[in-house]
Amino acid sequence: MENPDLTNLVAVVIGLLLLGLVLSGVLAVWIIARVRRLHLPPDADLLTALRLTPFSVVLLLDLLDFSLDIFAAPIAWGLLSYLGLRPLRGITVVESLIPGTQVLPTMTIAWLVARLVKRDSWPLPGV
């Protein structure tokens, strides 16, 4: 006999993953249609790229990571290449491959930090 609490939990988790996947697909189509290609300076670092990235892109990256776990890495790599956001590819793929970070909106947090950090304090002193 199955445990009804476990069955409900599994159903909720699967529902959230499917919802995240559907929202990711809709958001990806919208981003590709509206954002197209971003023109970063040739020497753009991670902080500059995050500052110039629309919030919808980082939200999509977090939704993909949540929904697809490690399988989001190649999709994120291709999307960021298409959008001209090459400085974000490495960090996004590494974050996608780290177990347990799927529930954390790490790209959204990084995007917020990039907007809060003053330019003259980056890179951090001593790093």
DSSP string for 55-82: HHHHHHHHHHHHHHGGGHHHHHHHHHHH
pLDDT, one tens digit per residue, over 27-46 is: 999 998 888 778 888 888 88
Is residue 119 over pLDDT 80? no
From 58, 68, 124, select the one nearest 91 (Cα to Cα).
58
Asked if residue 39 is part of any domain, the answer here is yes
How far apart, in Å, are the Cα atoms of 68 and each of 13, 62, 71, 110, 123? 13, 10, 5, 20, 32
Structural domain boundaries enclosing 48: 4-120
What length is written for the chain? Answer: 127
As for how many domains the chain has, the answer is 1
Asked if residue 17 is part of any domain, the answer here is yes
Considering the entire predicted model, what is its pTM? Answer: 0.82
Asked if residue 125 is part of any domain, the answer here is no
